[in-house]
Amino acid sequence: MDKKELEELSAIISALPYSYNVTAFSKEIRNSYSTYEKKPVSVAGRITAIRKSGKLIFLDILDGKGRIQACFDYALVGEEKFANAKRLNAGDIIGVKGDVFKTTAGEISVKADEYTMLAKAIRTLPDKWHGIQDVETRYRKRHLDLIMNEQVRDIFIKRSRTISLIRRFFDERGFLEFETPTIQPLYGGADAEPFKTHVNTLSEEHYLRISDELYLKRLIIGGFDKVYEICRDFRNEDLDTTHSPEFTMIEWYQAYADYNEIMKFTEQLLNYIAKELNGSHEITYQGKTISLKAPFKRVSFVDSIKEKTGKDILKLSDNELFALAESHKIRFEKGKRNRAHAYNKLLEVLVQPELVQPTFVVDFPKETSPLTRSKRGNPSLVERFELYIDAVELANAYSELQNPFIQRQNFEDEAKKAQAGDKDAEPMDMDFVEAMEHGMPPTGGIGLGIDRLVMLLTNKNSIKEVILFPMEKREK
């Protein structure tokens, strides 16, 4: 394209209108054809395909609700308008005015009286029939993926609806939604390596949150009984089919509740979402029928491993526990040769793959959970559960620790793990301990991964398919 052509194209784009009066969308016209038949409408959207047949031009127009066909008839619009319509290209965004009708083939369409150019596409769209073949290109250029693939658009419409349903569920049950800091002086609430940043004004190192747990608990201490937050969390971990360094969570906390009540509430939430979204508590995921009808199965952390190994892991010495783990090909990274890591890896390797239907794994060894209250009747365990569906962890919950003296000791134990090289160990947050010293009521709390939930609801086996702009290595 030479300089003159560039200037002419730039002038065309600069002269485009600032707005356009849209009176109907594709989905509305299709769903209520009898209402719109032979009535004038104004629709707008991107041209995704053009078909020319003698004195007729058919355009597929993609708007925010779907697709609709527009038809230019030479006999109706005349020579000049028809000639202008012939110059339209796939990718252009136009507004079309005309009556709604059905073609002889039965296609609901708009019989165009006139059109208005709203955006001129300088780059051509990918081939309609082959689309974007490279997966990484789909993620990097999601705008093209959304234009060319209606199924991808449906995933993110369903994601948006899921989050709306979650908010409705909590709001109707008396919960209040709050916003807590994304940039924090200390990270906490999970075992994960954080992203670091520097706050110039304060001349201090801060961190992107790995969880909003410790701030939401402060709200419980401050007098709010039911709180939740839907937010982005950040963990400097691997990229794989179920993990992303940036992801979306909902965490909620309820005063005067324990992990048993949180379990029941979680069952109700998932059943509600499935029914509202799909009309049934049953969903199909990767060829399996998954029932989200309560109650979900419950299995003991310790007993489930004993069934596989014949060993009561709580009674093993450190060396015996590590040897058991290594006999199942579990390897310990630097700084992670400790009981908590051994316990978690044994569950992951031996038990987790078999948890297809929704299952709560309950009552974790105390070493795994520095923020959790002891199991009633068995202080070697804590009142914690994780929810698994199709072998993927979906949620993690506790009867929350109330005792500030034990919390301080647990943080000190985590500090020792950090000194040994465990990058996932929790830092000592004395501000949180001080808040607990003012008195924290009995509380149940949970974090649930929204990305993984959407994977389940949309039948996708990669987290990148349900995150609009997933992290990718930059193109050089």
Q: What does each C-alpha distance from 121 to 48, 92, 185, 414 come to in angstroms?
A: 11, 5, 46, 56
Q: What does each C-alpha distance from 109 to 2, 54, 68, 382 come to in angstroms?
A: 38, 18, 6, 62
Q: What is the pLDDT of residues 269-291, one digit of tens each?
A: 999 999 999 999 999 999 999 99
User: Residue 130's pLDDT is what?
Assistant: 59
Element (H, E) at 251: strand 246-255
Q: What is the pLDDT of residues 150-196, one digit of tens each?
A: 899 999 999 999 999 999 999 999 999 999 999 999 999 998 999 99
SS3 87: coil
Q: What is the DSSP letter of 372?
A: B
User: Residue 354's pLDDT is what?
Assistant: 97
**C-alpha to C-alpha distance for 258 and 374, rounded to whole angstroms:** 12
Q: What CATH number labels 3-125?
A: 2.40.50.140
DSSP code string of 363-404: EEEGGG-TTBPEETTEEEEEEEEEEEETTEEEEEEEEB---H
Q: What CATH number labels 150-465?
A: 3.30.930.10
- Provide the β-strand partners of residue 42: 97
User: Residue 99's pLDDT is what?
Assistant: 97
Q: How many helices and strands, by DSSP H and E, does the chain display?
A: 15, 19
**C-alpha to C-alpha distance for 116 and 84, rounded to whole angstroms:** 11
Q: What does each C-alpha distance from 393 to 243, 388, 397 come to in angstroms?
A: 11, 4, 11
The percentage of the chain sitting over the pLDDT mark of 70, rounded to a whole number, equals 99
Q: What is the pLDDT of residues 213-269, one digit of tens each?
A: 999 999 999 999 999 999 999 999 889 999 999 999 999 999 999 999 999 999 999
Q: What is the pLDDT of residues 329-375, one digit of tens each?
A: 999 888 889 999 999 999 999 999 999 999 999 999 999 999 999 99
Domain boundaries, the chain: 3-125, 150-465
pLDDT band at residue 435 under the 50/70/90 scheme: very high
Instruction: Please tell me the pTM assigned to this model.
Output: 0.93
Do 3-125 and 150-465 show the same overall fold? no
Assigned token pair, 359: 């299952």
